Amino acid sequence: MAIRWKTKIFFLAATVLFLKPNFAAPKYFPPDLPDVLRPEVERFRESYLSLERGAELFVILKNGERYRHYVRRRLLEENMPLALEFIPVIESSYKANAAPKDGRSVGLWQFLENSIEGYLRKNEWLDERLDPWKSTDAALKKLKANYDTFGDWLLAIAAYNCGAGAVGRALEKSSEKNFWALSEKKLIPDHAINYVPRLLAIADIAANEEFYEADLPKFSFDAETYSPLDDFDYVEVSSQIYLKRLAMEMRLDEKILFYLNPALLKGVTPPNETYEIRLPAGMENSARDAICALMSERENADTE
């Protein structure tokens, strides 16, 4: 079990002062969200530094690597705190198809159906909550809107959990306009009270794996040397295209197209509207040729 951070800080200070070792102590890097050393955060930090919860966190972060790169890239592009990368740890264990038993919230960022207007689409043909890339863009848009409303990232995060309306009403009842005051006075739901310190604890441990002697997967993304990359191509279609047929025509493993287009509930683009199919990078021209062949095949079938 990892050493408690307070104990470890005392030990390191004593070592430096009295023993004067010839080795450098691990550096501590504060996350880009405030108040990570509050006692409310410490409770969750101790939990995630235990063997059992630490192993759980390792698996979640490891399985989420395929999406964490995109999330972090978008946070950088939007100039938002990188600690927000760990919201899906709490929301979905970084599973793109996560759906609780009640079925009310879905996907990486666990959008409720009644909260997607203006952010994502859902109908009989598609559910964009299941698209980890589109839902990431939507979640960051919502978080940014919350921040613009409250001017405070902790309040913005709490609002993501319990709703901007709930946080706004709570602030009206409090003379102190910060998350911790709302939490102490229990002016917001218990799940929101725990949500923020839990996120801060995870972000702190992830930023200071060596300091806490935490066992987390190595994540090969260097924010200092980051440069945007084009991971995908897109092709726009104006009639229904079955992913399976498109993959066959492109001589591409159909699993790749289904993985890249998880919002398509029936494996086919919606009728009577244009839709962008996501493709592996560099395959736009191949997809266009394949779609032309499929359209020609369909036209020939209609004339027979």
Q: How confident is the model at residue 204 (pLDDT cuts 50, 70, 90)?
A: very high
Compute the average pLDDT of residues 287-291. 96
* Of 244, 245, 243, the residue nearest 297 (C-alpha): 245
Beta-strand relationship, 105-106 and 232-237: unpaired
Q: How confident is the model at residue 14 (pLDDT cuts 50, 70, 90)?
A: very low
Per-residue pLDDT for 2 more than 80? no
Under 8 Å between Cβ of 201 and 44: yes
Residues 6+ away with beta carbon under 8 Å from 253: 247
* 187-198 burial: b if 16+ Cβ within 10 Å, else e: bbeeebbbbbbb
Residues 6+ away with beta carbon under 8 Å from 93: 60, 63, 64
pLDDT at 78: 96
Per-residue pLDDT for 4 more than 70? no
Query: How many Å separate Cα 40 from the centre of its chain?
Result: 23
20: alpha, beta or left, given left = phi > 0 and alpha = psi -120 to 50? left
pTM for the complete prediction?
0.88
Helix boundaries (H) for the chain? 5-14, 39-48, 51-63, 65-77, 87-92, 132-150, 153-162, 164-172, 179-184, 190-207, 209-212, 243-250, 254-260, 284-303
246-268 pLDDT tens trace: 999 999 999 999 999 999 999 99
Per-residue pLDDT for 7 more than 70? no
Q: Among 21-25, 55-59, 199-203, which is the least confidently predicted range?
A: 21-25
pLDDT at 298: 82
**Average pLDDT score over the chain:** 89
pLDDT at 85: 97
What's the N-to-C CA distance of the chain in angstroms? 72
Report d(CA 134, CA 137) in Å as an integer.
5
Report d(CA 130, CA 108) in Å as an integer.
7
- Greatest mean pLDDT range, 21-25, 92-96, 102-106, 214-218: 92-96
How many C-beta atoms lie closer than 10 Å to residue 64's C-beta?
24
Per-residue pLDDT for 126 more than 50? yes
Compute the average pLDDT of residues 17-39. 77
pLDDT at 101: 66
Helix or strand (DSSP H, E) at 279: strand 275-280
* % of the chain with per-residue pLDDT over 70: 86
pLDDT at 6: 53
pLDDT at 9: 46
pLDDT at 88: 98
Q: How confident is the model at residue 299 (pLDDT cuts 50, 70, 90)?
A: confident
Per-residue pLDDT for 228 more than 60? no
Under 8 Å between Cβ of 232 and 278: yes
154-167 pLDDT tens trace: 999 999 999 999 99
* Of 1, 139, 120, 122, the residue nearest 67 (C-alpha): 139
Q: How confident is the model at residue 302 (pLDDT cuts 50, 70, 90)?
A: low
Report d(CA 185, CA 193) in Å as an integer.
10
60-115 pLDDT tens trace: 999 999 899 999 999 999 999 999 999 999 999 999 999 876 778 999 999 999 99
Per-residue pLDDT for 287 more than 50? yes
